[in-house]
Amino acid sequence: MRSLVAWLGFAIIGASFVWLQLLPERPPTRSLTVAPRISDGLGTVIIDPGHGGQDSGTIRAGLLEKDLALDVARRLDRILQAKGIPTLLTRDGDNYVSLAGRAATANREENALLVSIHFDDAKPTATGVETYYAPRRITTAPMIASWVPFLQHPEEQDNFDSQSFAGFVQDSLVAGTHAVNRGTRAEPFYVIANVRHPAVLVEGGFLTNKDDAAKLTTEQYREQLASAVADGVTKFRALMRERQRTVAAQGPRS
């Protein structure tokens, strides 16, 4: 009897988690200024400002990671829109969006790219910028969150596109900000590992480093960060466009 009660309790807890995961969240926000859709088949750039709402992220010297991430994300959104590239923000205010909700936003789009904006913390001497990509990415979107792993079996593949995307973004970040180059790194962060599109996570500096923090307090530097990320996005999209042209020129394989 005790075993039966325990299993019933586990089933109720599991069902509650799934029900909470499926509750509708505040929908992602497209910019009020609608850019013309470009007909190159490359799709939307999903811009994901990290944290938000009750999740402030790193807090140092009066700086909140969630606020900096949203500021840079909005600047990136404006710059890409000006280039005629369609964008979608996972949040456009100080609201909480779950990691699963962010990934789901990207997975609803076709032929998209995802850029997640964050800022780091470490020992005071750590400084610079780095860009992450997931070593593998899914080819089918999971329907539920990763904390119920035995109920989901998404297909995966090597993530060469995201690795290339990260390289373009990192090179542009270093060139545009002259920050210390911490390189690209492969990490299975949920928001980039659980989307079916090329995806990167940018760490735009260390709030625990006084020099990085001082630069991030200025609008000029945050604009430089956004411009640099936009440059990396644009260059990677150019690579994808050239790849499409090459495939189209080769024609269908028999």
Per-residue model confidence (pLDDT) at position 151: 45
Q: Are 169 and 112 in contact (CB under 8 A)?
A: no
Spatial separation of the C-alpha atoms in residues 171 and 175, rounded to whole Å: 6
By CB atoms closer than 10 A (0-12, 13-18, 19+), residue 77 is buried
Q: What is the pLDDT of residues 52-100, one digit of tens each?
A: 999 999 999 899 999 999 999 999 999 999 999 999 999 999 999 999 9
Percent of the chain with pLDDT over 90: 69
Class of domain 27-250: alpha beta
Closest of 46, 52, 148 to residue 97, by C-alpha:
52
Q: Which residue do the tokens 């042209």 mark?
A: 245
Per-residue model confidence (pLDDT) at position 147: 43
Give 231's pLDDT tier (boundaries 50, 70, 90): very high
Q: Per-residue pLDDT averaged across 175-193, rounded?
A: 98
Q: What is the pLDDT of residues 99-140, one digit of tens each?
A: 999 999 999 999 999 999 999 999 999 999 999 999 998 876
The DSSP secondary structure of 12-24, one letter per residue, reads HHHHHHHHHHHSP
Closest of 228, 234, 223 to residue 74, by C-alpha:
223
C-beta atoms surrounding 116 within 10 Å: 25
Q: Are 146 and 194 in contact (CB under 8 A)?
A: yes
Spatial separation of the C-alpha atoms in residues 56 and 64, rounded to whole Å: 6
Per-residue model confidence (pLDDT) at position 26: 52
Give 156's pLDDT tier (boundaries 50, 70, 90): low
Spatial separation of the C-alpha atoms in residues 145 and 45, rounded to whole Å: 23
Spatial separation of the C-alpha atoms in residues 40 and 30, rounded to whole Å: 20
Closest of 152, 251, 247, 133 to residue 197, by C-alpha:
133
Please state the separation of Cα 253 from the chain's center in Å: 34
Alpha helices (H) in the chain, listed in sequence order: 2-22, 65-82, 99-107, 160-177, 190-193, 210-216, 219-250
Asked if residue 19 has pLDDT above 70, the reply is: no
Please state the separation of Cα 44 from the chain's center in Å: 13
Q: What is the pTM of this model?
A: 0.80
